A and B are shown apart, each in its own frame.
Chain A
Amino acid sequence: MKYLDDFRDAKLAQGLLAEIHQTAKNHWVIMEICGGQTHAIMRYGLDQLLPSEIELVHGPGCPVCVTSLELIDKALAIASNPDVIFTSYGDMLRVPGSQHDLFSIRATGGDVRVVYSPLDAVQIARQNPDKQVVFFAIGFETTAPANAMSVVQAKALGLNNYSVLVSHVRVPPAIHTILSSPANRVQGFLAAGHVCTVMGFWEYEPITQKYAVPIVVTGFEPIDILQGVLKTVRLLETGEVKVDNAYTRLVTRNGNLPAQNVINKVFMDADQKWRGIGMIPASGWRLRPEFEHFDAEQRFHVEDIKPEESPLCIAGLILQGLKKPSECPAFRILCTPEKPLGATMVSSEGACAAYYRYTGAPSIPAIAISNE
C-alpha cells in the first residue's frame, strides 16, 4: 500500500492546504459529486482543515442512496421467492424498502447473498441450474461495465437462470438537474473520478459552458481531493470556466472505450427515478430489447410494484446539496446507522452516515508516542 500512502502524505496535504488558503479570497460553494469523496472528506477531517471561505456540499453520487424505493420493493419481492438466489452488492442489504430490507428477507429464509462482482453472480447461476439467480444491478457509470458484462457473459453461456434487476443512474443529468434548480447554490463541482475513469470527461464540457461552472475531475484520497479543491478554487477565483482533471493517473478525456462499448451494447438511455429527488429524464440506463430476456422485472412480474416515497424525506435536499445532514432535525437523534430513516444514513457512501461516523470531534493535538 505504499502507493496509497503517498496520497495520504501529511506534508503534501499541508502544502496543498496552504495553497488553498492563499488562493481562496471569496466564499465558494463546491459540491463533491461522489459519496466516496464525501466519506474521505469526513474521515480525514478535510472540512476542518479547509479555509472557512470554502463550503463543501455533498452530491447525489451515492448509488445506494438514490436507488428508488420502487426498485428496492421490487428487489424484496423477488428475493422473497423461494426459487431465487438474490445477489447484491453488500451496501444494498440495509437499505429500507416500504416494509422490509434485504436483511429481513434473509432472516425469514430468503437466499440473499453478497457478491463483490456481478460476474460472481453469473458463477452462482452456473453452479445452481435449478435456481433463478438475480443480480441487483445498481450504480452509476462505475458499476455499469461489470453489470453489463455479466449479461453478455450469461448470454454467451446460454444461461436461462440469470437475470438482472437494473437501476443505473448517470452523473451528467444529475448535474443538469442541480444546476437548473432555482435554489441552486453550487458554484463548482468535484466530478467523480471513478465515473470519469469509465466515461471520460468530455460529457461535462457542454455543462460547464451552459451553466458557467468549473468542473474538476477528482479522486478519492485526501491528496486527490485537496488537489481537486485547489484547482476548482483557482478556476473560480480567476473566473475561468472549463473542465480540469486532477485525477490524471486514471482519467483521460475519452475514458475507457472498451468499457463504454459493453455499456452501449447492453444498455440504452431511460428515464430514471432517483430516491429523494424524483424522475430525471434520460438519467439512467435500462436493458436494450435484445437483452430483455435477462430483465428480472419482466421475469418475476414485479413491474406493477409502485410504492410512493414519503414526500417529507430530507435526503432529497441533502443529495442536491441544499441541506447538510447536520441540519436535519432527526440526525443523530432519531436517525442513526442502526435505525436509519433514510438511505443517506444507510450506505457507507451516504452523506448522513459520513457525518454520523466522523464529525463532531474536537480537534486534538498529535499524541506524542515513544515506542523505543
Chain B
Amino acid sequence: MNTKDLFENKSDPILPTMEGSVCPVPLSHKERIVLGHGSGGKMSQDLIAHSFLPQLDNPILRAGNDAGIVNINPTTNLAISTDSHVVWPLFFPGGDIGRLAVCGTVNDVSMMGAQPLYLTAGFILEEGLELEILERVVKSMQIAAQEAGIHIVAGDTKVVQKGKADGVYINTSGFGLIPHNIRISGDQARPGDKVIISGTIGDHGIAVLAARGELGIETQVTSDIAPLNHLVAAILAVSNQIHVLRDPTRGGLATTLNEIANQSEVCICIEEKAIPIRPAVRAACEMLGFDPLFVANEGKLVAIVHPGDANQVIQAMRNAPYGSEAVIIGEVQASPERRVLMHNAIGSTRIVDILSGEMLPRIC
C-alpha cells in the first residue's frame, strides 16, 4: 500500500488495518486553498494533479515542462509558457515585479531550448495604486525586455476594488521558437550526465524575504532576477547534448532536481560542498531554519548535460551573462527509485526531498 493509493485515487481514504497504535485524523486541506498550494512544492503538484489535469488533460500539458511544446509544422516547434506574478513587496533589492514578470516567462520559454520572441502582459491593478508606481514597473519591464531582446506584443488591464488585490499583479505569456534539432525536456536526463548549476542558489528568496521586513533580518543579498535566454544560447552554441534545462524558481533547487529525477526516471546525486551558496544567504537560512536548497531563484538554471560536453558547457556559461559562477554539482545515475541523494561533507548521504508546503521559519 502506498500514499498514492490511499489519497489520490479515493475521495475517502480507506485506512489500513494497523497493529497497535495509530495517530489522529489528518488535515488534508482538500476543501480550501491555503498558501502552501502556491509554494511550488508537493502541495502545488497535488493541486495540479487533482484539480487541473483531470479537466484539462492533454499530452502537451501532461509533459510537465516549464513551457508547453506545440508542433506547428514538421520543422517548427513553438514553446508557450505563462506565469503570474504576485510578489510582495513590488520593489526589492535587485529587482521588482516588472523585471520578474518579463524574466520569469522568458526563462520558462528558454528552458525548452527555445529562442523567446514575444510576450503578452496582463495587469490586474488595485484601485488607488499610484500611477508613478505603475510607470516604474512598466519601465522596468521595458528594460528587461530590451535586455532579453524580446517584444511585448499584446496586453490587457483590469482594475479591481481596493483591497481585492495588492497593488499590481502581472501575468505574462511567452512564445519562442525551438530550433528543429533541439529536444530538451525534463524527461531527457540520462545516467552519467553531469548536473550543472549556473551560479549561487537562494539569492532571490532571501532578498525578497528580507525586503518584506517581517522577519527582522537585514541583508546585503540582492535578487538574482535575470533573463537567461542569452546564457541558454551560449550553451546551445557549444553542445548538442544538452538534455535538460530548468530554472529552479519556487521550491528551489531541491524541488527542480526531484521533478527531473521523476520525469526522467533516474536518480540524481549531488555533492553538498559543490553547491554554490553566498555566505549571507547561508547565514540567513541558518538563522531562519530554512534549507537553501528549497529557496527560490529567478536568475539561475540547472543544465543536465552529456558528460563529454560538461566542461565546454561550463566554460561557455562562465563567459556568458549570468553564468560566471557556473559549476558541476553532481551527476545522474541509473536507479529504479526516482530521487535526489546528496553526499554530505562529512561522508554520509541523505535524501533531498521536495518542498512540502509553505516554508516556515522554525521556533528556536
Contact = CB atoms under 8 A, between A and B. Distances in A.
Contact of A313 (B21, B42, B271, B343): B21
B71 interface: no
A214 interface: no
Residue among A333, A349, A356 with most chain B CB within 10 A:
A333
A150 B331 CA distance: 50
Contacts of A190: none
Interface in B269-294: 269-271, 274, 279, 282-283, 286, 288-289
Contact of B360 (A42, A94, A310, A359): A94
Interface string B327-359: 111110000000001011111111101001110
Interface residues of A, number: 85
A288 interface: no
Contacts of B330: 367, 369
A158 interface: no
Interface stretch (A106-114, A127-135, A260-268): A106-114
A14 B346 contact: yes
A96 B363 contact: no
A271 to B, nearest CB: 22
Interface stretch (B1-9, B158-166, B182-190): B1-9
Contacts of B56: none
A96 B284 CA distance: 28
B29 to A, nearest CB: 7
A103 B35 contact: yes
A86 B20 CA distance: 38
Nearest to B33: A107
A366 B363 contact: no
A335 B26 contact: yes
Contact size range, B: 35 or more
A89 B362 CA distance: 7
Contacts of A348: 289, 360, 362
A103 B28 CA distance: 11
B34 interface: yes
Interface in B221-252: none
Given A106-B35, A333-B2, A314 B20 contact: yes
B253 interface: no
A369 to B, nearest CB: 5
B216 interface: yes
B283 A1 contact: yes
A296 interface: no
A9 B346 CA distance: 7
Interface in B1-44: 1-3, 6-7, 13, 15-16, 18-29, 32-36, 42-43
A181 interface: no
Given A143-B363, A333-B1, A367 B271 contact: yes
Interface stretch (A21-29, A240-248, A339-347): A339-347
A329 B19 contact: yes
Given A312-B23, A335-B23, A114 B29 contact: no
B32 A107 contact: yes
Contacts of B2: 333
15 contacts: A4-B282, A36-B362, A45-B350, A89-B364, A103-B358, A104-B34, A314-B23, A333-B3, A339-B7, A341-B22, A342-B24, A348-B289, A357-B351, A367-B271, A371-B327
